[in-house]
Structure 1
């Protein structure tokens, strides 16, 4: 199994996704008129003061916090440390690049998820890549393949990745055995997961902003204390990305190591183009009521995840001076804990353990919500199939808590790569639809109107769209 996983990773990451992710991101950046730069304030406007819900869906703010719950986790703490250890400081630069172009990719995939969403048997909104593959591209086969990959990766494997990081940090900080951490985490996560997507939304809405805010405050303290060294760290990151500082700190991996590890860990962290966040984006009631507004919300999630939180982690690690690129050097969560210990003393490992406990816990419940969406597409949304998925997800949490970090990350990389490859093909095929929606949205904004999408006004976009969702009294649904 290890040989198969390693082969998949070498092909998909070495020849497909490293260039595919950047290429698709650049493609959408250009085709959408550099939307993430020209309309950057709009990414915030669609979320400020937006808390509308309806019996059919959750609010844009809840959709953002659930997607951040999934994004902000292991990738921001352990993933950044792994990127630096394997790719040197330059890997962070490529994480930034993935995020900058990824804001356009994330916008595109979540806009499509909104457009092609449906109502399930309980009148709840459901949607995501599988739905726009079936209804937009016209290929249910793509939708089935994507859904299976999503369930395997997010419903199962990524839960193991998150619990692995929690287990490592709890053992390092408090000496708690991995199995004890796994069982306890599975029990608490199970309580939330068995409550359904609305329960997940309520928990994420409270935990994610609070924990992210505290983490950023600690990072700001570290930056202020070391403010004179911060410019040099940014220069080191940029120079190392292009091989000008390959030997910095003993790292000798070169440009490709920085590029490969930056892209891999960047995607794992912000998930742009992977097709994960669109699953929750589709369940939101957009405000303004236009598919593009929810696309902008999820684009903002990429910015917060990588350009804010990952950068904070990277600077804390690099400023600490504790990175050892030798074979016995600390990596993953332990490296992040060692770095913060160098800045704030004995409280550092404990703080990181608590931070990853909350970040990774919310990732587990957020990831599960994506898998449940995929089960709906496969026609497995009944009580018994979902019960099996929930039990399996909890079992993976326990399994991940006692596995070596390399094993868990390799499995995660392989499943993520297959899933992302299928999604990237689909959104490129539907890029004309995304462009039409974008033009419509900003044309209305420029005219001083609140953007509103109505099915009847777009006869050229009628394929696979549920007209009852977009031709209705918007105000009535918000009551």
Structure 2
């Protein structure tokens, strides 16, 4: 019975993550890029804003805290394993399509955050709450779609943001250090509970410290491997660019693939990694301290830059250069095994950095998705759902560490994709609002951003007070 159900869910998953979804998401990325007048031009401004406090704004957490929490959920095992999976399925050119998807996806992330801040409300406990459900209800008058999105998020979070991540940590610790999964589960459950019981402020404080550390160490490890593989980096860049349009001709130890397979592998993994268009990140953007919609939207947009354009590209260069350098040693390796093979270039330290990355990336995802799920249930039930949800979330972490999760992963993956449909309706239906807010706060103004950043005016027009 379980195998039959899993096979059924797998087919549905293949459909919802199939060509229709990819076309809808990529199409929205491109459409919003032009509706926002290529907001990606503001990337440098966005990065600078993310580390500039806005003490005069109202919100539950700082703009950087919201960004760190969103990055906690998006920078995950997909940045390590997902890139390897894409290369295995589509060749080195898949890295190019991942990168391009992230570049256009920045506009969608900007649009999501714009709507989240514009239509956010205050809950009974005084905290800010927002996201696609409120954009659908208050912006479009379609509460039933908001309820649908919240239900999908409230269920999917336990799988894709909790159980599967905990299982990845338990598997990694068990394989590397021989620690029983149940022991890892207990430790992880306690650590998670201590953080999320304090709410979004506690989560954001941990993420503010954890994200720079874990991402910094991982990128440093990638840079060291790139130096070791220095002679093969030009060939890796060439394979990525040429392989994007003619993957069959790349050779050099790579499995042949068609152009369609290459594009699909890169685009699908890119979309899955940065979550642009899925509607998750704007839930935390809504609680950020910001004086207008565009300020936090720019900060949120910078998350895609770090997640896909930087971290995924670094992983891609490490993997492709390692395969070119040692095609025999890397032959047959897939997913995490491929990444592990590349990091073995740094004896002892390499595997340690990779293991640390896998553990922290997965745990940060548990923390980030805890807030997404909580806000979804608050929308559906009210603030009364907060404490029961947090308790249930910590218990499910232990379950995930010990269980076999193929069915759970497939169901959660399917629901995660389904979240995109109502979110895309909000983005496309309210694209005029996004364009208007962007014009008002970005392109029509050239004032000092928050009164703090006059030196940025030479880079790009800034957001008004």
| TM surpasses 0.5 | yes
In structure 2, relative to structure 1, the CA distance for the partners of 1:373 and 1:278 (3 Å cut) is same
Native 8 Å contact 2:132 2:423 kept in 1: yes
Equivalent-residue separation in structure 2 for 1:275 and 1:197 (angstroms): 18
Distance 1:323 1:53 in 2: 56
**1:335 correspondence with 2:333:** no
| Structure 1 runs of 4+ with >4 Å offset | 53-56, 322-326, 402-409, 449-452
Structure 1 residue aligned with 2:425: 425
Note the alpha carbon deviations across 1:380-421, whole angstroms, 9 max, x for none. 321xx3344334433443343345676555334312210012
Distance in 1 between residues matched to 2:329 and 2:276, nearest whole Å: 29
Number of aligned residue pairs: give it.
445
Q: Is the 8 A contact 1:169 1:349 kept in 2?
A: no
Secondary structure of 2:253's match?
A: helix
Query: Is the CA contact 1:74–1:161 (under 8 Å) kept in the aligned structure 2?
Result: no
Partner of 2:371: 369
- Pairing 1:10-409 to 2, within 5 Å after superposition: 10-37=14-41, 39-50=42-53, 52=55, 56-245=59-248, 247-286=251-290, 289-321=291-323, 329-341=332-344, 343-382=345-384, 385-402=385-402, 407=407, 409=409
Instruction: Give the direction of change, closer, same or farther, for the CA distance of 1:315–1:450 in structure 2 (3 Å limit).
Output: closer
Give the TM-score normalised by the residue count of structure 1. Answer: 0.86
What is the deviation of 1:233?
0.8
1: distance between equivalents of 2:66 and 2:411?
A: 27
Deviation per CA, 1:28-62, whole angstroms, max 9, x where unpaired? 0111111103x232212322322538774111011
CA 1:325 to 1:222, structure 2 compared with 1: closer, same or farther past 3 Å? Answer: closer
Q: How many Å separate the matches in 1 of 2:285 and 2:329?
A: 39
Q: Match of 1:52, SS?
A: coil
Aligned to 1:411: 411
Would the alpha carbon gap of residues 173 and 387 (structure 1) be closer, same or farther in structure 2, given more than 3 Å must change? same
Supply the distance in 1 between the matched residues of 2:13 and 2:439 (Cα, whole angstroms): 38
- Contact 1:157 1:396 (8 Å CA) reproduced: no
SS in 1 for 2:393: helix
The change in CA–CA distance for 1:413 and 1:258 in structure 2 (over 3 A counts) is: farther
Partner of 2:461: none
Contact 2:108–2:276 at 8 Å: present in 1 too? yes
Q: Following TM superposition, by how much is the alpha carbon of 1:376 offset from its aligned partner in structure 2, in angstroms? A: 1.6
Q: Return the offset for 1:449.
A: 5.0
Deviation at 1:310, TM superposition (A): 1.2
* Cα displacement (A) at 1:336: 1.8
Q: CA deviation at 1:331?
A: 2.9
Deviations 1:415-435 (CA, angstroms, capped at 9, x unpaired): 221001221121100000000
Point out where structure 2 has 5 or more consecutive residues left out of the alignment.
452-464
SS at match of 2:265: helix
Structure 2 CA distance for partners of 1:325 and 1:412, relative to 1, 3 Å: farther
- TM-score (norm: length of structure 2): 0.89
Whole-angstrom CA distance in 2 between matches of 1:55 and 1:293 = 13
Change (3 A) 1:271 1:226: same
Partner of 1:465: none
